[in-house]
Structure 1
Amino acid sequence: MRFKARPLQFLVMILAALTAAPVFAQNKTLQIVGFGDSLMAGYQLAPAESYTAQLEAALKAKGLNVAINNAGVSGDTSSGGLGRIDWSVPDGTDGVILELGANDALRGIAPEQTEKNLDAMITRLKARNIAIYLVGIMAPPNMGSDYAQKFNPIYERLAKKHALPLYPFFLDGVTTVAGMQLEDGMHPNAKGVAAMVEKSLPSVEAFLGDIGSQQK
């Protein structure tokens, strides 16, 4: 009996080791960077009220092991983002939530230039094996329909080109809802950011799930 028990013990140990490996991989903290402008930075909000902070809290509440660094810069354009993306996204980053273009549209920058800049940022991140969750922006109505027709399709086109997950409009549920903006009528308040997090959470979870599965 003692001889027969030993192989069984070894078998149990081997099975335990095999099943423990994926669990260890899942427990790795995913390092995410929120890269964008004032909408990402949390303009006029407390640090804990920004999109990255509220998103991290929501994900952790669901049991996900994630750390989201806020690399949003108020007033940043796609050109500014391209100029700083290499040093704003540190080595060891698993994924980037990329949100830029709102200030381009406000300034009437040629949509072709915005697309070129975003394309270059995506290409650089992919070259570093960093996953990308692309966030879309829509041109403000005062820019006119001609500008909107050129600007708005940028994000879907880039998502298809680079096979990226796309959240079509970052301010969905905020721009047309009373009580969701600051006094400037442009930026979300803390309540508005909470709505943005709630709406984007399912697709962000799927994005993190893809990263986790690729790391196993």
Structure 2
Amino acid sequence: MADTRPLSISRRLLLAGGLLALPARALAARGQIVTILGDSITAGLGLPAEAALPAQLQLALARLGVASVVRGAGVSGDTSGAGAARVDFSVQPGTAVAVVALGGNDLLQGLDPKTTRANLERILVRLKQRHIGVVLAGLKAPPELGRGYAHDFDTVFPSLARAHGVTLYPDLLAGVGRNRALNQADAIHPNAQGVKIIAGRLAPVVARVLAKQV
């Protein structure tokens, strides 16, 4: 999930919508603000901005009748630790709900699940201190990493959601992961159709959390 374009996709998405220069108040007038804090999967590596998850989630929410502005805060290559280090900068003022979608690069690097948990916990605590609603998007570790490791990693997300009273979306790649037809050639990053599926499944969960923030 490594890449050398940290904020380019998110920036292009905002520019495309004419949103980059708008203050939070003006953005809020267009709908509640959702920020996706993530890595290359949420940044849309290998896809045009309009096909990436932020744009597709905004469209999926609109189909549910939910006006929103979805900000992309995905940085390719980011681990949970990198996300924790930039959470205050990346989840900007005016955000009603943050979708926290980190951990894929922790898996690729074989990081201790305890480290992933501690990093994600820092993010959740900070977002709650700022009164931002949270959707914690989990991931499932591939069994090739070993049954014990996979179990420990998989339990990080539900246990954190329970401990901090946030909404859990159990598996960001549900219905898409390991499906060749829905992924790019690297077999890691979803293609445009895969992203649409993710956005469609994620949108109702985000909508419910948004409704609580009004």
TM exceeding 0.5: yes
1:70-128: CA deviations, max 9, x gaps? 00011100110011111111122111000101100110101001000000110011111
**Separation in 2 of the partners of 1:199 and 1:47?**
19
Amino acid at match of 1:76: D
Provide structure 1 residue ranges, at least 5 long, that are not aligned to the other structure.
Answer: 1-25
User: How many residues are paired up?
Assistant: 187
Q: Structure 1 segments of 4 or more deviating over 4 A?
A: none
**Separation in 1 of the partners of 2:30 and 2:202?**
23
Higher mean C-alpha deviation, range 196-205 or range 153-162 = 196-205
Provide structure 2 residue ranges, at least 5 long, that are not aligned to the other structure.
Answer: 1-27
When residues 28 and 42 of structure 1 are mapped into structure 2, their CA distance, relative to the original with a 3 A threshold, is closer
Instruction: Report the 3-state secondary structure (helix = DSSP H, G, I; strand = E; otherwise coil) of the residue aligned with 1:148.
Output: helix
Return the match for 2:59 from 54, 57, 60: 57
Match of 2:13 in 1: none
**Separation in 2 of the partners of 1:159 and 1:134?**
7
**Separation in 2 of the partners of 1:124 and 1:146?**
30
Return the match for 1:165 from 164, 167, 177: 167
Instruction: Report the 3-state secondary structure (helix = DSSP H, G, I; strand = E; otherwise coil) of the residue aligned with 2:84.
Output: helix
Return the match for 2:88 from 72, 86, 89: 86
Tell whether the 8 Å contact from 2:43 to 2:73 is kept in structure 1 after alignment: yes
**Separation in 1 of the partners of 2:73 and 2:203?**
19
**Separation in 2 of the partners of 1:103 and 1:140?**
13
Instruction: Please show how residues 174-185 of structure 1 align to structure 2 within 5 Å.
Output: 174-185=176-187
- Kindly report the root-mean-square deviation, in angstroms, between the aligned alpha carbons of the 2 structures: 1.5
Tell whether the 8 Å contact from 2:61 to 2:204 is kept in structure 1 after alignment: no
Instruction: Please show how residues 66-215 of structure 1 align to structure 2 within 5 Å.
Output: 66-212=68-214
Tell whether the 8 Å contact from 2:135 to 2:209 is kept in structure 1 after alignment: yes
**Separation in 2 of the partners of 1:96 and 1:204?**
9
Tell whether the 8 Å contact from 2:138 to 2:168 is kept in structure 1 after alignment: yes
Instruction: Report the 3-state secondary structure (helix = DSSP H, G, I; strand = E; otherwise coil) of the residue aligned with 2:135.
Output: strand
Q: State the percentage of identical aligned residues.
A: 37
- 1:28 deviation in Å? 6.6
Tell whether the 8 Å contact from 2:134 to 2:166 is kept in structure 1 after alignment: yes
- 1:27 deviation in Å? 7.0
